[in-house]
Structure 1
Amino acid sequence: MFASMTKGAKQMIEYLNKTVGDEGKTFETIDFSSNYTLETVLICAYGIEVKVFEEPDSKFVQMGKKLLQPKPLEAFFFYVSMLYPKITKLLKIRFSNQGTSEQVFEMIKAAFDYRDKNNLESKDFLGNLAPLRAVFGEKSVLALAAAFFVDGQATTGLAMGGILYDLAKNPEVQQKLREELNEYFEKDKGQLSYESIQEMPYLDACFKESLRMQPVLGFLTKVCTKTYTYTPPDESHPPIVIEKGTPILLPIHAIHNDPQYFDEPSKYIPERFMDKEMANTKYFMGFGNGPRACIGN
């Protein structure tokens, strides 16, 4: 999988050199990074090789864009469903564009059918899901495979686009990160290894700081599992009883940008996450929190 990601990264660099060149040009980081994550997900998860950077108008790119840019009405229904989940089932509200969802399902089903017909086995994501169809049914497995497409391409593309934007705005941080990368490039003799990427402390801090300032999700949705009484520590108002089954919204963006938890929150300071205590703070929820935290972490 790492080799496939590296191959996609090389194609991304070639594209960047052609479009931006030495003189430098302005480009949209979200579109750029989402193309890379799209290509990576297609080859690593589904075994579908598409040269996204060479075919910017392909159906796969259009699918990715529609997932990233929902229509206003779709976005409205999404937020309503967070507040009133029962309405979602009653009105059969969908979270994504129906046409795009069907395309993703068809793509994955075609990949399954091709492998079944040709008796092909693979160690990728689809290969691991294939035996589960007999246990959970094809529809459930297709839904899981489609969810991976959304999470792997859309949310990862947003996170990657965010850090590129932050690095462009903060050249001193970019230079410091570049120095760390060059150090590991030299250590790996010009080719970064998976292990080296996991080791880089400043790279990790830059990603966390970007996710702090602009989290992919502005809030988390939870459901209260047992009745709880919240008593304000400053006694500014009476205790609040939260009944079991009440939908709860955790405002991640507000918490991440609250000076009570992060000093100078409007400034991009990756160094804050180099501190051991801050690196493990419960107030950073870039990947959510608890047993249902994002596996993207």
Structure 2
Amino acid sequence: MLEKIDGSLLLKVLILPGLALLAFYAYFNVIYSYWKKRGVKNPKPLPPFGNFTKSLFFSNIGLQITDFYKELDGEKYGGLYSFNRPALLLRDPELIKEVMVKDFGRFYGRGFPSNEDIEPLQGHLFSLSGSKWRNLRVKLTPTFTSGKMKMMFPTMVQTGKELQEYLKTPADKQEVLEVKDILARYSTDIIASCAFGIKCNCLKEPNSEFREWGRKIFQPSLKGRLLGIINFLVPSFMRAFKLHVFPEDVSKYFRSMVKDTVEYREANNIHRNDFMQLMIQLKNKTLGIEEDDPLIKMPTEESNGLKSNAPFEVTMDVIAAQAFVFFAAGFETSSTTMTFCLYELACNPDIQARVRKEIDSMLKKHDGQVTYEGVLEMEYLDKVVNETLRKYPPLPIVTRACEETTKLPGTDLVVDKGIQIMLPILGLQRDPKHFPDPDKFDPERFSEEEKNKRHPFSYIPFGEGPRLCIGMRFGLMQTKVGLISVLSNNEVQVSEKTPIPLVFDYKSFILSTEGGMWLKIVKRTDKVAG
């Protein structure tokens, strides 16, 4: 009897787990043969995480994909595995152009379907696909036309003056400041005003309600990081278990705040020149479309899932989702870009001096005022911002999804429907084939002569094609006004606390540094009187 019991236990303890491991190995062995069968080179995956074990625990996913980009040097593309899901990494700018523009109708999705039924804040322009996305993109076009930008510009300038005022005392004392938080507060003030018509005074009150919610969105946590990566790599898991990417209190706050704002304005007949007003007009169908977006001219065949007359209503939750992504993306990406730009200018004082000289010339020409036209005239500042975005794109990677099985032009590769396409922005923009000596900060890379020497799709910090970032002009203008505001009266210098070399924060999806950015702020002594 004892022998029988021992034999049964032995079966359970040794044989059954062994069979389970064998089945596990066989399953992933079949799954991970997908690219080999198609003759596509791929870094070795590790079950069950595929190629992204490092991203889950130790690395920023964009930085890891940049490493894959380097590992696949000499290839036009390479294969990857997100857990058990094959993904295609494109390296060739011409193929990237094909996916983003020429054959957009087959690659219009992101590859991680939005789940607005469970989490309404996911129903925003960045996440949506198909006819919902197209209808919303067309409806939101008026928000970021040059006419609307000019209406919002005075808010940027006023906030820039408040930033100048805030920096006066530290500059007089030549203090070392953590500039990322200061610039995030500047950006938050602009977004709160332009998006919601709210004056939140984050520069004066660093712990204001809006700033606290902004911190909470991007505050690193193990749970938030894991959920964000799982949503990126295996979105079906999030849907199956009804998991939320954003903390539920964040979702509740923004939905409630938007609802209260809209209802208050409608009840009191309040009209403001801001994003919220445009969304209210869309909800009430009282806003015309300004044809200032290449998407308007995009084919809309039903076969590619983008038929434009599919029913789509701008509801309160739709407004909340757009306001949320405008707020979250608007303050974080712009403040990050300004932070990296000031870092590079501190490390390259000759370039900084040239920027300050151009600022002085612009102010002199425009009677000491920062004007919309004056900012657009600043060619060297534009080069400096572009070079910052080349070295430090806020989003190191963007994705597309193959919506219809298709053969990539100029290759023998047939991409199956459902395959996620990874477009390595940071990898491309740090590739010495496109940008010689890529670690050097050189704004002259963006002279017309230099731009004509390289493939235009080797530089895509805002994406490209019909899914080009709709807020690009707003973000660039906000960034430039912020830089002008800092540098017109001050210079920035490295200090003993400045991180040299930079160490990127692996916990953040947006490219950012560990420990903040510490720079010395010094009042200018070379300023030319206007």
Is this a same-fold pair by TM over 0.5? yes
Matched, 1:8 2:8: no
Pick aligned residue for 2:184 from 34, 42, 47: 34
Percent same amino acid at aligned positions? 33
TM-superposition CA deviations, 1:51-96 (whole Å, max 9, x none): 1111111111111112233423222222222222323322333332
Q: Any gaps of 5 or more consecutive residues in structure 2? A: 1-151, 285-312, 473-530
Matched, 1:181 2:359: yes
What does 1:8-157 align with in structure 2 at a 5 Å threshold?
8-18=159-169, 20-134=170-284, 135-157=313-335
What does 1:146-295 align with in structure 2 at a 5 Å threshold?
146-229=324-407, 240-276=413-449, 278=451, 281-295=456-470
TM-superposition CA deviations, 1:150-201 (whole Å, max 9, x none): 1222222222222122222221111111111111111001112101111211
**Secondary structure of the residue that 2:251 maps to in structure 1?**
helix
Letter in 2 for 1:282: F
Moved more, 211-220 or 64-73: 64-73
Report the Cα distance in structure 2 between the residues aligned to 1:140 and 1:125, rounded to whole angstroms.
13
**Secondary structure of the residue that 2:276 maps to in structure 1?**
helix
Aligned to 1:236: none
**Secondary structure of the residue that 2:421 maps to in structure 1?**
strand
Letter in 1 for 2:160: A
Contact kept in structure 1, 2:258 and 2:319, CA below 8 Å = no
Report the Cα distance in structure 2 between the residues aligned to 1:24 and 1:105, rounded to whole angstroms.
42
**Secondary structure of the residue that 1:136 maps to in structure 2?**
coil
The normalised TM-score by structure 2 is: 0.52
Report the Cα distance in structure 2 between the residues aligned to 1:56 and 1:185, rounded to whole angstroms.
30
Report the Cα distance in structure 1 between the residues aligned to 2:422 and 2:249, rounded to whole angstroms.
29
Deviation at 1:265, TM superposition (A): 0.5
Contact kept in structure 2, 1:32 and 1:161, CA below 8 Å = no
Deviation at 1:276, TM superposition (A): 4.4
Report the Cα distance in structure 1 between the residues aligned to 2:193 and 2:278, rounded to whole angstroms.
15
**Secondary structure of the residue that 2:271 maps to in structure 1?**
coil
TM-superposition CA deviations, 1:178-233 (whole Å, max 9, x none): 11111111100111210111121111111111111111011101101333445998
Structure 1 residue ranges, 4+ long, deviating more than 4 angstroms after superposition: 229-233
Report the Cα distance in structure 2 between the residues aligned to 1:98 and 1:260, rounded to whole angstroms.
45
- Structure number, greater radius of gyration: 2
Report the Cα distance in structure 2 between the residues aligned to 1:206 and 1:98, rounded to whole angstroms.
39
**Secondary structure of the residue that 1:264 maps to in structure 2?**
coil
Deviation at 1:240, TM superposition (A): 4.3
Deviation at 1:122, TM superposition (A): 2.1
> How many residue pairs were aligned?
291
Contact kept in structure 2, 1:201 and 1:274, CA below 8 Å = no
Deviation at 1:293, TM superposition (A): 1.3
Report the Cα distance in structure 2 between the residues aligned to 1:173 and 1:264, rounded to whole angstroms.
17
Against the structure 1 CA distance between its residues 103 and 166, is the aligned structure 2 distance closer, same or farther, given a 3 Å change threshold? farther
Contact kept in structure 2, 1:218 and 1:251, CA below 8 Å = yes
